[in-house]
């Protein structure tokens, strides 16, 4: 065979072999998986409020209540060992009553310092500091200072309209009878001298009214001992339950805490469960108002001054009452039924004005950022 024939035969054989071999398909191209887009952010995370508990610290609440109640009974115990109505009882009653008012503050120190509840931002949670924004805090204090006597005046109007008390706006006969009773305890010569030097009863009434704003500020010293506990610590501790459960429950606890003095006849002249029930109802009614002032301002100081103003003006109805008219303390006093109705009317106005709720519970001003020192060239 020639060389060309040989090469042709080889080429034909190669062609037949290529046709006989299976065709190798190229591997399919692997498409990249679609990128997983991150979920859209729901906005910046909201930090927890430093003046609020995330949930109710029930252990600390139980410790606070038990401590405040136990201390109140312990401080009031000497009065229970004295003869009621004796000169010693009368002399010590005011002193011991004022001391009892500081037992909630001691209970607050127990839960804040020993139980470390809360662990941080304590002054802010208690509503004591900072006093900023100053405009809001100051005006809230002024409103409580003037508002509490206004609610007391409203309670007197309610009592008059219900026929529970009659007023004597010319002779002030009930007030004059009180003065005469105090003078009767003096010896004749001193009594005659005191009566001769005493200004007219109308002037004394005017002085009583003028003294109320100043008495409110003085009474705020003692009211602080209560309010730093009731509205400063307990109300924020119960706030996770909701605004109304927190206000009502803290007010009821506040009222029951008065039991050692109420059972001695304090406020209502009752010595059994009826006095305790009346005081509890009154403290719920006023506790809603003082608690609202605390939440609405973010500060405890309006509640402190409002409490002081309540104590300073609570006896005004006795100044204007008629000596020969009806006068039942359970009905006519600001912590009695007339006071409940007056407080309910004010609360109803606030509810209609939509003044309750998270949107109306501002914080105190945040901490000021530190100022960086100037950089020298």
pLDDT in tens, 228-257: 999 999 999 999 999 999 999 999 999 999
Query: What token pair was written down for 256?
Result: 């029951």
Q: What is the b/e burial string over 292-313, where b = at least 16 CB atoms within 10 angstroms of the residue's CB? A: bbbbbbbbbbbbbbbbbbbbbb
Token look-up 């002032």 returns 293
Number of H helices, E strands in the chain: 17, 0
* CA dist., res. 314 & res. 335, Å (int): 8
Give the tens place of pLDDT for each residue, 356-376: 999 999 999 988 777 667 776
Decide: helix, strand or coil at residue 167. Answer: strand
Decide: helix, strand or coil at residue 327. Answer: strand
Cα 230 → chain centroid: 6
Q: Are 298 and 362 in contact (CB under 8 A)?
A: yes
Token look-up 């410790």 returns 63
Cα 187 → chain centroid: 48
Sign of CA dihedral 187, 85, 217, 113: positive
| Confidence (pTM) | 0.86
Burial of 98: CB neighbours in 10 Å, binned 0-12, 13-18, 19+? middle
Contacts of 115 (CB under 8 A, 6+ apart): 59, 60, 63
Contacts of 53 (CB under 8 A, 6+ apart): 118, 125, 236, 237, 239, 240
| pLDDT for res 176 | 95
Query: What token pair was written down for 365?
Result: 């001003």
Closest CA to 253 of 52, 54, 64, 56: 64
Positions in the chain short of pLDDT 70:
1-47, 371-372, 376-377
Per DSSP, 359 falls in state G
* CA dist., res. 89 & res. 72, Å (int): 17
Per DSSP, 45 falls in state P
Helix or strand run (H / E) with residue 28: none
Cis-peptide into 286, omega within 30 deg: no
List residues bridging with 127 in a β-sheet: none
């Amino acid at each position: 065979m020639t060389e060309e024939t040989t090469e042709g035969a080889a080429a034909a054989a190669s062609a037949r072999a290529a046709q006989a071999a299976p065709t190798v398909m190229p591997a399919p191209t692997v498409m990249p998986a679609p990128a997983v887009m991150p979920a859209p952010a729901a906005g910046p995370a909201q930090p927890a409020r430093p003046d609020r508990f995330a949930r109710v610290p029930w252990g600390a609440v139980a410790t606070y209540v038990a401590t405040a109640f136990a201390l109140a009974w312990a401080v009031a115990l000497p009065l229970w060992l004295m003869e009621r109505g004796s000169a010693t009882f009368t002399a010590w009653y005011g002193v011991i009553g004022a001391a009892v008012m500081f037992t909630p503050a001691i209970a607050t120190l127990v839960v804040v310092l020993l139980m470390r509840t809360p662990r941080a931002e304590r002054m802010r949670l208690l509503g004591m500091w900072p006093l900023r924004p100053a405009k809001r805090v100051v005006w809230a204090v002024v409103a409580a200072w003037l508002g509490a006597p206004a609610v007391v005046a409203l309670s007197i109007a309610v009592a008059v309209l219900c026929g529970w008390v009659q007023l004597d706006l010319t002779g002030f006969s009930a007030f004059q009878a009180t003065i005469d009773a105090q003078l009767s305890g003096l010896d004749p010569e001193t009594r005659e001298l005191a009566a001769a030097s005493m200004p007219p009863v109308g002037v004394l009434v005017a002085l009583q009214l003028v003294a109320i704003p100043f008495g409110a500020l003085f009474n705020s010293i003692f009211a602080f001992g209560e309010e730093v506990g009731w509205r400063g610590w307990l109300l924020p501790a119960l706030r996770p339950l909701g605004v109304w459960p927190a206000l009502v429950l803290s007010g009821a606890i506040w009222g029951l805490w008065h039991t050692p003095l109420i059972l001695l006849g304090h406020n209502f002249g009752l010595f059994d469960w009826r006095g305790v029930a009346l005081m509890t109802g009154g403290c719920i009614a006023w506790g809603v108002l003082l608690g609202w002032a605390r939440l609405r301002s973010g500060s405890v100081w309006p509640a402190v001054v409002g409490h002081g103003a309540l104590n300073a003006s609570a006896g005004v109805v006795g100044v204007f009452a008629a000596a020969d008219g009806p006068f039942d303390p359970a009905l006519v006093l600001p912590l009695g039924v007339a006071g409940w109705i007056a407080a309910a009317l004010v609360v109803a106005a606030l509810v209609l004005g939509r003044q309750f709720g998270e949107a109306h519970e501002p914080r105190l001003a945040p901490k000021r950022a530190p100022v960086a020192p100037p950089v020298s060239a």
